[in-house]
Amino acid sequence: MGILFLIATLMPRLSAATGKTDEAATGKTDEATTGKTNDAATEKTNEGAPEGVSGASTDETLLLEVQVNGHSIGKVGEFTLRHGKLMARPDELRDLGFQVPDARAFGFSGLIALADLPGLTWSVDQKNQELHVIASDNSLVPTLLHFYGRESPVSRRVIESGTGVTLNHDTVGTFASGKMGGAASLDLRAFSPRGVVDSGWLAYAGAGSSGTGTNKAIRLDSTYSFADVNTLRRYRVGDFITGGLAWTRPIRLEGVQILSDFSMRPDLVTFPLPSISGSIAVPSTWKCWRTATR
């Protein structure tokens, strides 16, 4: 009887312990299976995502002044820093003067890395917000120079001009010893997109220096001028004064004048600047000799 009572007492405890062991083992197995499933699903999701989308939140937009081969080009470019790679849009790179192959495959966001451009190395100066680029001649867009009259219609500048007439005047009236007199300086100007007509006049009325009354008008200068902003030429017909250098004397003439007027393009430098440039196509070798020893 004692043995049967002992067995009946131990059986429930053994059953409870067995249930806990099974639950713990089952829980660990489920957790491991679930973890592996989630990791596999995450990996598949990352593999299926386009390149650059997963790191879009870490992109940094930079506005940098561009310097090419040690010279500033006077332009500021918009770049994107992504995972240590400096990227930009193809049209932005072309506007900065870099060659971008048309057949190159761009990323999902339409950006291209500067490291993928052949013959180009770069570095960023974060303190001064500058991009220093070392580029070969083949990686830069060439500059095309056109003769006068050969520019494409798209590149021709169009200057807006109104149409109207102006009259500037300066009048003076005098009254002395019972006599009245007056004088006026007139500047009549008419303008339109076809040119400008300018005429100056002097007019007198009333008493003169001889004491007798007189009315008189004197024409000063009358000139028609037209400025062509695409060829930087100015055409004048009428009265004009020629230009003079430091050792010459200007002359007043009446006739036709055709001259180059660079004041219409203040961004152009009209005098030569000294410059030295060159390109190395093959490696260079230097030999140094000192006291007959190489």
pLDDT of residue 236 exceeding 90, the answer is: yes
For the chain, helix (H) and strand (E) counts, in that order, are 2, 12
Q: Please check whether residues 122 and 176 belong to one and the same domain.
A: no
Q: Domain of 253?
A: 164-264
Q: Please check whether residues 194 and 232 belong to one and the same domain.
A: yes
3-state helix, strand, coil in the chain (%, to 5): 20, 40, 40
Residue 12 lies in a domain: no
pLDDT, tens digit, 9 for 90 and up, residues 253-279: 889 999 888 888 877 777 777 777 766
Q: Please check whether residues 118 and 182 belong to one and the same domain.
A: no
Question: Strands 85-88, 179-192: parallel, antiparallel or unpaired by DSSP?
Answer: unpaired
pLDDT of residue 23 exceeding 70, the answer is: no
Q: Please check whether residues 125 and 183 belong to one and the same domain.
A: no
pLDDT given for residue 41 in this prediction: 40
Residue 182 lies in a domain: yes
Answering whether pTM is above 0.75, one says: no
As a dihedral over the C-alpha atoms of residue 82, residue 84, residue 89, residue 95, rounded to 10 degrees, the angle is 150
What is the spatial distance between Cα 103 and Cα 85, in angstroms, rounded to a whole number?
21
> Mean of the pLDDT values across residues 98-104?
74
Q: Which two tokens stand for residue 87?
A: 């990227």
Q: CATH number for the domain including 130?
A: 3.10.20.410
Q: Please check whether residues 128 and 207 belong to one and the same domain.
A: no
Residue 197 lies in a domain: yes
pLDDT given for residue 222 in this prediction: 93
As a dihedral over the C-alpha atoms of residue 199, residue 250, residue 253, residue 169, rounded to 10 degrees, the angle is 10
Residue 194 lies in a domain: yes
Residue 11 lies in a domain: no
The percentage of the chain sitting over the pLDDT mark of 90, rounded to a whole number, equals: 17
Domain count, the chain: 2
Residue 47 lies in a domain: no
Residue 6 lies in a domain: no
186 beta partners = 169, 201
Question: Is the Cβ–Cβ distance between 253 and 237 less than 8 Å?
Answer: no
pLDDT given for residue 48 in this prediction: 38
